[in-house]
Structure 1
Amino acid sequence: MSLSALARYHAGLMPALTSYTHALTADQAARLRGLLAERGFEFMTKPYCLYAAARPKVNVLVYEKGPKVVVQGKETEDFVTNLLEPEILGEAKLGYEEVHSPEMFQPHIGVDESGKGDFFGPLVIAGVYVDADVTRRLREMGAVDSKRIGSDARIAQLAAEIRRTPGLVWEVISIHPERYNQLHAKFGNLNRLLAWGHAKIIENLLERVPGCPRAISDQFANPAVLQKALQERGRGIELVQRTKAESDPAVAAASILARDGFVGWLKTQGQRFGMEFPKGVSNNVKQAAAKMVETHGAGILHTVCKTHFRTANEIPQEFDSTP
Structure 2
Amino acid sequence: MRSLASQPLAIHTYTAPLTLRQVEKLRQILTLHGFQLAIQPHTVFCAQKDKLRIVVYQKGPKVLIQGKGIEDFVTFQLEPNVFEQASFGYTEAVQSELHAPHFGIDESGKGDFFGPLVIAGTYVDHSLAHIFSSLGVRDSKRISSDKRIRDLARQIRKSGAPSEVIAISPLKYNELFLRFGNLNKLLAWGHARVLENLCKKQPDCPYALSDQFADVSLLQQALMTYGKKLCLKQRTKAESDVAVAAASILAREKLIDWLDVASAQHALRLPRGASLAVKNAAVTAVEKHGLHILHKIAKIHFKTATEVSLLVRRSHLP
Alignment TM-score, normalising by the size of structure 1: 0.74
Q: 3-state DSSP class of the match of 1:268?
A: helix
CA contact (8 A) 1:216 1:241 kept: yes
Between the aligned partners of 1:230 and 1:110, the Cα distance in structure 2 is 15
2:147 matched residue in structure 1: 153
Q: 3-state DSSP class of the match of 1:173?
A: strand
Alignment TM-score, normalising by the size of structure 2: 0.75
1:218 matched residue in structure 2: 211
Tell me if 1:179 matches 2:172. Answer: yes
1:58 aligns with one of 30, 44, 48: 48
- Identical-pair percentage: 45
5 Å-filtered alignment, 1:102-113, equals 102-113=96-107
* CA pair 227-203 structure 1, distance change in 2 beyond 3 A: same
CA contact (8 A) 1:107 1:212 kept: yes
Q: 3-state DSSP class of the match of 1:111?
A: strand
Q: CA deviation at 1:99?
A: 2.8
Tell me if 1:257 matches 2:250. Answer: yes
The residue identity in structure 1 corresponding to 2:208 is A
CA contact (8 A) 1:292 1:300 kept: yes
CA contact (8 A) 1:98 1:105 kept: no
The residue identity in structure 1 corresponding to 2:151 is Q
Structure 1: state its 5+ residue gaps: 1-6, 20-39, 41-54, 62-70
Between the aligned partners of 1:135 and 1:245, the Cα distance in structure 2 is 15
CA contact (8 A) 2:114 2:299 kept: yes
Structure 2: state its 5+ residue gaps: 1-18, 34-40, 80-85
Q: CA deviation at 1:58?
A: 3.4
Q: 3-state DSSP class of the match of 2:292?
A: helix
5 Å-filtered alignment, 1:1-323, equals 10=22, 15-17=28-30, 56-58=46-48, 61=51, 71-72=52-53, 82=64, 94-95=78-79, 96=86, 97=90, 99-101=92-94, 102-166=96-160, 168-315=161-308, 316-318=311-313
Q: Deviations over 1:80-139 (max 9, x none)?
A: 95566xxx98xx854124734111101100000000100000000000011100000000
Q: CA deviation at 1:221?
A: 1.2
Q: 3-state DSSP class of the match of 2:105?
A: strand
CA contact (8 A) 1:125 1:198 kept: yes
Q: CA deviation at 1:226?
A: 1.4
Between the aligned partners of 1:136 and 1:289, the Cα distance in structure 2 is 43
1:49 matched residue in structure 2: none
The residue identity in structure 2 corresponding to 1:265 is W
CA contact (8 A) 1:17 1:74 kept: no
2:13 matched residue in structure 1: none
Deviation beyond 4 Å, 4+ runs, structure 1: 9-15, 72-76, 78-84
Between the aligned partners of 1:201 and 1:75, the Cα distance in structure 2 is 44
The residue identity in structure 1 corresponding to 2:186 is L
Computed over aligned residues only, the root mean square deviation of the Cα atoms, in angstroms, reads: 3.1
CA contact (8 A) 1:98 1:104 kept: no
Between the aligned partners of 2:127 and 2:24, the Cα distance in structure 1 is 18
* CA pair 74-141 structure 1, distance change in 2 beyond 3 A: farther
